[in-house]
């Protein structure tokens, strides 16, 4: 049975669209599973997601917001594995709940950035001419901007908060996706199946959405995974400067910032959340590197 | 039997006039791109300045002004004009060096920026020296030893550099190297009791101390500088090593490398004398780009190390809602960043022989 399933999946001549899609997915999953870098990264990312989901459970019912001033700045102990911060809040609980904030930011930025990049890139690549020139000029301008500083200025103008941090990061993060989508579109648009679709009378929008966008997605996703680390670091940087999630929300960057003044005596306050940022961005970097090896062996 | 290399003259080479024309064309298109990008940057900062909830009129006339005075200032600031006109006024002011007044220091923003810039310049210059001195050899070794342990070690070190938050690494560095071991000095540029001892000439502490011949202050400044510069340098090192490795792998796969080996050159001689010079052009571009990004990375590092440069100035302004200073700093850093970016691009196009004839 497994034998026939494997051969059905690995068939060189799929008889249905479903079989082709399933076969591709099967091959991709297999090569990811055999890539140690990607697996290590995937493990960390999955752990992050589990941390975010099961934060209440993992923290043993401790709230990330409950203050205990008698226990402020307590060293790691059996009661508080990672110690407590300047308001006596449990750092383990705050770090666990902080995963939720990080995950939210990452998700929101992806949801904003990918559609913008895809829209600009595919339209520019498909329509060509002055539309292409104009859109790509705008992309180049945004690409040449210093990202962190601009995000800083945006966050400063809009006021601090997660939503504004997401807007600020997104505004500076979309150009690479537009570039990728455009270069993919240029190749795809010339291929026979697109010409066939044009001859069948398909509208431009139909061709863009049904034929071109799906084929751009894999490179965009690889790039997104590689960018995740940068997005997390920028978000944490904004949080560190007080422009991200506002107190008392447990956000890793802000937590590091609160441990800043006591770093020489109570090192754990800043160390633990910083370590969390480091491990999570390392995870995304590993996963991205691995995915790139799998999907785009040329550029490795 | 003599082995004759093909002379340059026999290779197809465009006429001098055409080459000059190409170069001129490149430079013109560079200037055009620079101008357009600058307009884009200022348009964005202008847009940001309109997003703030801070009333620009109130910051001029104060909140006790009469209606008439308010309206007068409103008109004088051009706020009753269409947005495009307002933007042009803004652009004209920027070009004449008027970045507005800083609320925090009551100084023109431009003179503030010029005062703090040398500190950032010093920090990022030492950082890029560290990044290049370590990153380039590391990248070359990683490429030459591709797939072996040296390559893996360098890759892991680089990956860490891509993943670690700079502000956190700074704090940990302070905790261990300053707090626990006492190997380096703490925050700031100098110990407090040395303040004002150095004749300010260039604004670069190391240079000024050396010009004074005051080696005590020089070594103090150095021990303050080395940790933040080392941490910033680590970040550029990660990027430089990765790019060097990939350029070098391309070169080492070429036939001339095999030919040089067959002629009897040792492996490392081939790597350094034959392959390495060929990656110089793209490498310079990469170094330029990471130098530009160091200016940006300095924002967080300076905040951690209380380093009185551009980054600290911008974050201070941020906390005090001093939007003129924030946007002035953004325009300055952005302009330097854009210029370095595009100059690198231009250099690459002018010096890469493969692109020259196109």
Say what the pLDDT of residue B358 is.
44
Kindly state the average pLDDT of the residues A52-66: 77
CATH number, position A256 = 1.10.3720.10
Question: By percentage, how much of chain A surpasses pLDDT 90?
Answer: 11
Rounded to an integer, what distance in angstroms lies between the CA atom of residue A223 and that of residue A48?
20
Mean pLDDT of chain A: 83
Confidence tier at A291 by pLDDT (50, 70, 90): confident
Give yes or no for residue A299 having a pLDDT over 70: no
Cβ distance B289 to B341 under 8 Å?
Answer: yes
Give the chain A residue whose CA is nearest to the CA of B335. A145
Say what the pLDDT of residue B1 is.
42
Say what the pLDDT of residue A14 is.
79
Model pLDDT for residues A129-181, shown as the tens digit of each residue: 889 888 988 888 787 777 788 888 887 788 888 888 898 888 888 998 998 89
Say what the pLDDT of residue A122 is.
92
**Residue A271 touches partner B, C-beta closer than 8 Å:** yes
Tally of structural domains, chain A:
1
Say what the pLDDT of residue B138 is.
94
Interface contact A282-B337, CB threshold 8 A? no
In a domain, A71, yes or no: no
Say what the pLDDT of residue A281 is.
93
Say what the pLDDT of residue B355 is.
53
In a domain, A13, yes or no: no
In a domain, A85, yes or no: no
Contacts with B, A 225-264, CB within 8 Å: 229, 233, 236-237, 240-243, 253, 256-257, 259-260, 263-264
Rg of chain A in Å (alpha carbons):
23
Question: By percentage, how much of chain A surpasses pLDDT 70?
Answer: 97
**Residue A157 touches partner B, C-beta closer than 8 Å:** yes
Kindly state the average pLDDT of the residues A186-205: 86
Kindly state the average pLDDT of the residues A94-104: 88
Model pLDDT for residues A214-265, shown as the tens digit of each residue: 888 888 888 888 888 889 998 898 888 888 878 788 888 888 888 888 777 7
Q: What is the DSSP string of A32-84?
A: HHT-HHHHHHHHHHHHHHHHHHTHHHHTTT--SS---GGGTTPPS-SSSTT-B
In a domain, A82, yes or no: no
Residue B101 vs residue A109, higher pLDDT:
A109
Token couple for A119: 């829209």
Q: Enumerate the residues of chain B whose CB falls inside 8 A of the CB of residue A293.
A: none
In a domain, A243, yes or no: yes
Cβ distance B186 to B174 under 8 Å?
Answer: yes
Rounded to an integer, what distance in angstroms lies between the CA atom of residue B109 and that of residue B326?
9
- Of the candidates B109, B105, B107, B87, which has an alpha carbon nearest to the alpha carbon of residue B97? B109
CA A50-A56-A57 angle, to 5 degrees, is 70
Residue bearing tokens 């026999």: B10
Rounded to an integer, what distance in angstroms lies between the CA atom of residue A292 and that of residue B128?
28
Q: What is the DSSP string of A147-180?
A: HHHHHHHHHHHH-SSHHHHHHHHHHHHSHHHHHH
Tens-digit pLDDT profile for chain B (358 aa)? 445 555 555 455 566 777 788 778 888 888 888 888 888 888 888 888 887 766 667 766 667 777 787 787 777 777 777 888 888 888 888 888 888 778 777 888 888 888 888 889 889 999 999 999 999 999 999 998 888 898 889 988 988 988 999 889 988 888 888 878 878 877 778 777 777 777 777 778 788 878 877 888 888 888 888 999 999 999 899 999 999 998 998 888 888 888 888 888 888 888 888 888 888 888 888 898 888 888 777 888 898 888 888 888 888 888 787 888 888 888 888 888 888 878 887 877 777 665 555 4
In a domain, A129, yes or no: yes
Cβ distance A83 to A76 under 8 Å?
Answer: yes
Max mean pLDDT among A103-107, A241-245, A287-291, B328-332 falls in: A103-107
Rounded to an integer, what distance in angstroms lies between the CA atom of residue B307 and that of residue B310?
9
Selected residue of B50, B167, B327 to mutate for chain A interface (largest A Cβ count, 10 A): B167
Say what the pLDDT of residue B132 is.
94
Say what the pLDDT of residue A33 is.
81
Task: For residue B72, give Cα distances in angstroms to B52, B59, B98.
Answer: 21, 14, 21
Cβ distance A239 to A151 under 8 Å?
Answer: no
> What are φ and ψ of residue A49, in 5° steps?
-65, -45
Q: What is the extent of the structural domain holding A152?
A: 42-49+91-299
In a domain, A35, yes or no: no
Rounded to an integer, what distance in angstroms lies between the CA atom of residue A99 and that of residue A48?
6
Cβ distance B284 to A137 under 8 Å?
Answer: no
Token couple for B293: 């990004």
- Of the candidates B202, B233, B225, B241, which has an alpha carbon nearest to the alpha carbon of residue B306? B225
In a domain, A12, yes or no: no
Kindly state the average pLDDT of the residues A120-126: 91
Out of A137, A253, A281, whose CB is closest to B163?
A281
């Amino acid at each position: 049975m497994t034998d026939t399933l494997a051969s059905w999946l690995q068939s060189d001549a799929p008889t249905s669209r479903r079989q082709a899609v399933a076969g591709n997915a099967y091959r991709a999953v297999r090569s990811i599973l055999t890539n140690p870098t990607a697996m290590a990264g995937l493990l960390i990312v999955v752990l992050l997601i589990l941390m975010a989901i099961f934060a209440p459970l993992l923290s043993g019912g401790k709230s990330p917001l409950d203050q205990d001033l008698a226990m402020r700045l307590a060293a790691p102990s059996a009661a508080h594995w990672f110690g407590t911060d300047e308001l006596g809040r449990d750092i383990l609980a705050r770090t666990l709940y902080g995963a939720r904030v990080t995950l939210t930011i990452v998700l929101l930025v992806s949801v904003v950035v990918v559609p913008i990049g895809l829209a600009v890139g595919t339209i520019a690549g498909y329509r060509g001419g002055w539309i292409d020139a104009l859109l790509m000029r705008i992309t180049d301008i945004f690409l040449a901007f210093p990202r962190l500083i601009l995000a800083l200025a945006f966050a400063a103008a809009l006021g601090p908060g997660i939503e504004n941090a997401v807007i600020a990061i997104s505004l500076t993060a979309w150009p690479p996706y537009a570039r990728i989508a455009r270069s993919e579109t240029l190749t795809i648009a010339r291929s026979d199946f697109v010409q066939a679709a044009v001859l069948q009378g398909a509208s431009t929008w139909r061709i863009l959405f049904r034929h071109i966008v799906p084929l751009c997605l894999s490179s965009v996703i690889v790039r997104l995974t590689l960018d995740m680390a940068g997005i997390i670091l920028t978000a944490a940087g904004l949080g560190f400067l007080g422009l991200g999630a506002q107190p008392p929300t447990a956000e890793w960057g802000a937590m590091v910032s609160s441990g800043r003044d006591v770093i020489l005596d109570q090192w754990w306050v800043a160390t633990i959340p910083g370590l969390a940022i480091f491990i999570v961005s390392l995870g995304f970097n590993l996963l991205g590197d691995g995915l790139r090896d799998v999907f785009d062996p040329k550029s490795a | 039997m003599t082995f004759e290399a093909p002379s340059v003259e026999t290779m197809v080479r465009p006429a001098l006039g055409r080459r000059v024309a190409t170069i001129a064309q490149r430079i013109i298109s560079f200037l055009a791109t620079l101008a357009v990008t600058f307009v884009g940057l200022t348009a964005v900062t202008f847009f940001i300045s309109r997003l703030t909830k801070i009333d620009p009129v109130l910051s001029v006339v104060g909140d006790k002004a009469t209606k008439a005075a308010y309206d007068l200032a409103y008109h004088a600031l051009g706020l009753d004009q269409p947005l495009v006109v307002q933007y042009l006024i803004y652009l004209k002011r920027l070009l004449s060096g008027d970045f507005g007044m800083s609320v925090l220091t009551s100084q023109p923003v431009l003179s503030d920026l010029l005062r703090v810039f040398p500190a950032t310049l010093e920090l990022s210059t030492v950082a890029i020296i560290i990044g290049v001195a370590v990153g380039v050899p590391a990248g070359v070794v990683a490429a030459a030893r591709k797939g072996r342990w040296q390559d893996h070690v360098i890759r892991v070190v680089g990956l860490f550099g891509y993943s670690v938050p700079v502000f956190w690494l700074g704090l940990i560095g302070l905790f261990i190297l300053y707090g626990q071991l006492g190997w380096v000095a703490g925050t700031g540029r100098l110990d407090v009791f040395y303040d004002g001892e150095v004749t300010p000439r260039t604004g670069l502490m190391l240079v000024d101390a050396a010009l004074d011949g005051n080696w005590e202050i020089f070594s103090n400044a150095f021990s303050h500088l080395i940790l933040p510069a080392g941490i910033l340098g680590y970040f550029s090192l990660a990027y430089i090593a990765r790019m060097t490795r990939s350029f070098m792998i391309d070169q080492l796969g070429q036939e001339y490398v095999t030919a040089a080996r067959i002629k009897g050159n040792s492996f490392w001689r081939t790597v350094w004398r034959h392959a390495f010079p060929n990656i110089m052009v793209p490498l310079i571009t990469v170094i330029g780009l990471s130098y530009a990004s160091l200016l940006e990375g300095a924002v967080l590092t300076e905040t951690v190390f209380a380093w009185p440069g551009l980054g600290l100035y911008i974050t201070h302004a941020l906390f005090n809602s001093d939007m003129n200073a924030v946007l002035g700093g953004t325009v300055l850093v952005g302009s330097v960043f854009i210029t370095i970016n595009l100059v690198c691009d231009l250099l690459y196009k002018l010096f890469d022989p493969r692109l020259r004839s196109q």
